A and B are shown apart, each in its own frame.
Chain A
């Protein structure tokens, strides 16, 4: 019971912090604006006819998966950089187990990324991405899964960082290449051998492809845009999620005090 209260508190705090941070909320919209609005818009005008599908929608689905994945991952990783700041210090001296802290953080950061995901959807609708209510409802579970998966990935990264090294410096190197390898805004249906391997090693690829697979389910563009069926993606994500969570939690709890 106490653990549940603690998880609720930790998650609620994360979410409240997000809602009251205007700069962060604003930043949430800049990224989709750049990629869906500008990149998607320009590709759509120039290449869509040759490609045979709507680029704006393609990038939109990629960004939804990517935002969910990245935001939760970054949120979990922030646990290390702000352990010396603000309330997180309190968390670590409170009589709450490390497992509870991680779980609370995962729930909270998933909620935050969900709010951001909704922001991306609203933006997509504004710029004219075709999205039906049925599609939106079908995509919702996939979006949540992407967020949780990103959190597990963040935990694995976090557990391998020493406290002295700033997570801020490492994180872009871990996440940025995945934008391209996961095909967030560029088609990766055909890739040279090495890039293909790297792409398959990028966890974000499966989150993006899952969201995209559900969006295009039953549509004529499905074959051209989606890499693997949602079922395959769910299996891969489920497996990796379990591995990341177990490894990450064990290593984090062990390393956290052994500095």
Chain B
């Protein structure tokens, strides 16, 4: 699996700003990977995606996308990517079909024609195919205004895939959508990923969205504070632990000592950190003292995330 996005030591400082909005970040994204950039508002997510999509100049660092240098081959980079912006990017006064048509012409897929009827057959076929997927065959000639928020997002995704980009960038695509539309959008993206094997670069502040990714980079204050699979991040940041308690506290404690188990006391109970579930079973099966409390604590990514963000904030204050 080759690297499709290569970022080395990327820095962005806005004019007149005192701090770097993006502060020496480096990462790679493999072909076909689903990569999520997770962070609170103002962490530098949109700045990073704007640089990667060529709409904002970087201060320093090296970026290559699909093998093309961001500075010297910007046009090639643009041809290789699709972008879903944070703000809707469809023209409200134009019809769904016109929005698609203009995209295709700008990307050099078909020559310009002022009406749908005058466009090439290949284009018409593609549009009717895609509209069936979305179930908007009858609404193609209606202005975008009449579409629901979720529908507009899907149409944007369809549009951004028309030129078969190697990487699809999505900047907080579900912000402003209700939960039902959000869910259906994710279903659709999953299909796209399975069907097209498109690399996806997503920014989000929703954890459950990042948890779906192959790898997650947590970004805060312009720095990547953690990078890995959701599992790795969870493992690295908060350990799973076993919490046990007994009426016979002393007996339990001496037994734990005898078993050479490392523990910490937590509200009169004993906390034992572990890496694999098998270790828990092994330990519990050896304990003879009757227990009146047993709980296995599995962290969610949310806890790991909050943990990182608060740690970072404490360190900087």
A12 adjacent to B108 (CB under 8 Å): no
A257 within 8 Å of B (CB atoms): yes
Chain A residues with CB below 8 A from B105, complex form: 5-6, 8-9
| Bound Cα distance A12, B111 (Å) | 13
| Bound Cα distance A17, B98 (Å) | 11
B92 adjacent to A9 (CB under 8 Å): no
Among B91, B103, B143, find the residue whose CB has the most chain A CB atoms closer than 10 A: B91
| Bound Cα distance A100, B258 (Å) | 78
Smallest Cβ-Cβ distance to B82: which chain A residue:
A93
Tell me which residues from 80 to 99 in chain A have a Cβ below 8 Å from any Cβ of chain B: 84-87, 89-97
B7 within 8 Å of A (CB atoms): no
Smallest Cβ-Cβ distance to B160: which chain A residue:
A90
Chain B residues with CB below 8 A from A259, complex form: 14-15, 56-57
A86 adjacent to B14 (CB under 8 Å): no
A95 adjacent to B108 (CB under 8 Å): yes
A258 within 8 Å of B (CB atoms): yes
B55 adjacent to A8 (CB under 8 Å): no
Chain A residues with CB below 8 A from B143, complex form: 20
| Bound Cα distance A162, B16 (Å) | 12
* A86-B92, A258-B15, A259-B15 known; A96 vs B106 contact (CB < 8 Å): yes
| Bound Cα distance A91, B107 (Å) | 10
| Bound Cα distance A257, B314 (Å) | 34
Chain A residues with CB below 8 A from B92, complex form: 86
| Bound Cα distance A5, B112 (Å) | 5
B48 within 8 Å of A (CB atoms): no
A191 within 8 Å of B (CB atoms): no
Chain A residues with CB below 8 A from B91, complex form: 13, 17, 86-87
How many pairs, one residue from A and one from B, have CB atoms within 8 Å of each other in the complex? 88
B88 adjacent to A95 (CB under 8 Å): no
A131 within 8 Å of B (CB atoms): no
B53 adjacent to A93 (CB under 8 Å): yes
Chain B residues with CB below 8 A from A17, complex form: 91, 93-94
Smallest Cβ-Cβ distance to B169: which chain A residue:
A93
B96 within 8 Å of A (CB atoms): no
B78 within 8 Å of A (CB atoms): yes
Majority secondary structure, B binding face = loop
Residue in A12, A16, A89 whose beta carbon sits within 8 Å of that of B87 in the complex: A89
A170 to chain B, nearest CB (A): 18
Chain A residues with CB below 8 A from B112, complex form: 4-5, 8-9, 12
| Bound Cα distance A6, B75 (Å) | 14
Contact string against B for A residues 85-126, beta-carbon threshold 8 Å, 1 for contact and 0 otherwise? 111011111111100000000000000000000000000000
Contact string against A for B residues 143-168, beta-carbon threshold 8 Å, 1 for contact and 0 otherwise? 10000000000000000000000000
Chain A residues with CB below 8 A from B108, complex form: 2, 5, 95
Chain B residues with CB below 8 A from A50, complex form: none
B114 within 8 Å of A (CB atoms): yes
Chain B residues with CB below 8 A from A96, complex form: 106
Chain A residues with CB below 8 A from B99, complex form: 87
A245 to chain B, nearest CB (A): 22
| Bound Cα distance A258, B51 (Å) | 11
| Bound Cα distance A10, B250 (Å) | 79
B81 adjacent to A93 (CB under 8 Å): yes
| Bound Cα distance A16, B101 (Å) | 13
Smallest Cβ-Cβ distance to A5: which chain B residue:
B112
Chain B residues with CB below 8 A from A1, complex form: 111
B123 within 8 Å of A (CB atoms): no
| Bound Cα distance A253, B85 (Å) | 21
Contact string against A for B residues 1-27, beta-carbon threshold 8 Å, 1 for contact and 0 otherwise? 000000000000011000000000000
B17 to chain A, nearest CB (A): 10
B257 within 8 Å of A (CB atoms): no
Chain A residues with CB below 8 A from B298, complex form: none
Tell me which residues from 75 to 126 in chain B have a Cβ below 8 Å from any Cβ of chain A: 75-76, 78-79, 81, 83, 85, 87-94, 98-99, 102-103, 105-108, 111-112, 114
* A93-B83, A97-B75, A259-B14 known; A87 vs B102 contact (CB < 8 Å): yes
| Bound Cα distance A21, B93 (Å) | 7
| Bound Cα distance A259, B57 (Å) | 7
Contacts A6-B105, A8-B105 supplied; 11 other A-B pairs, CB < 8 Å: A5-B108, A9-B102, A13-B91, A20-B143, A85-B88, A89-B83, A90-B89, A93-B78, A94-B78, A95-B75, A257-B54
Name 20 A/B residue pairs within 8 A (Cβ), A-sorted: A4-B112, A8-B112, A12-B114, A16-B98, A17-B93, A20-B94, A20-B143, A86-B88, A87-B89, A87-B102, A90-B83, A90-B89, A93-B78, A93-B81, A94-B103, A95-B106, A257-B56, A257-B57, A258-B57, A259-B56
**Interface of B toward A, CB cutoff 8 Å:** 14-15, 53-57, 75-76, 78-79, 81, 83, 85, 87-94, 98-99, 102-103, 105-108, 111-112, 114, 143
**Nearest 7 pairs of A and B residues by beta carbon:** A257-B57, A95-B78, A8-B112, A94-B106, A20-B93, A95-B79, A5-B112
